[in-house]
Amino acid sequence: VQLVESGGDLVQAGGSLALSCTASGFTFDDSAVGWFRQAPGKERVGVAGISGTDGSTIYADSVKGRFTVSTNNAKTTVYLQMNSLKPEDTAVYYCARGPGGWASQDEWDFDSWGQGTQVTVSS
């Protein structure tokens, strides 16, 4: 299993950014992918998740209405579209594979992680 995040960048508050998580080594139809973030000095927290089995999604309250998680048709890449970015969105963003298949924001439901991509939102 391999997950590689990309798309992190420096952006001004109010701007948009799209992250990608390229997955390989597993069948997404039987799994889920979650997006997490870790800000400096803080614990890693769930941001969004998508189920490969039924396409259901889940979002943290802090990003609802601003972030959207989706996949490409081949289900090899999971995207996190981030709009109306705020300085508090600054963090390293990780994607992870959940073998259980349900959309989740609980780290315990995920067994494989990418290396992370840095998102910095300036005020």
SS3 state of residue 88: helix
Per-residue pLDDT band at 27 (split at 50, 70, 90): confident
- Structure-block tokens of residue 114: 């990418």
What was the pLDDT predicted at 70? 96
Mean pLDDT for the stretch of residues 66-79: 94
Of 75, 63, 67, give the one whose Cα is nearest residue 101. 75
Report which residue type is found at 42: K
Run of H or E including 65: none
Q: What is the mean pLDDT of residues 22-42?
A: 94
What is the arithmetic mean of pLDDT over 21-49? 95
Residue 75 has what pLDDT?
Answer: 87
For residue 61, pLDDT over 90 is answered with: yes
Residue 73 — very low, low, confident or very high, per pLDDT cuts 50/70/90?
confident
Lowest mean pLDDT among 4-8, 12-16, 71-75: 71-75
d(CA 37, CA 52): 21
**pLDDT, position 115:** 97
Check pLDDT > 90 for residue 58. yes
62 vs 96: CA distance, rounded Å: 19
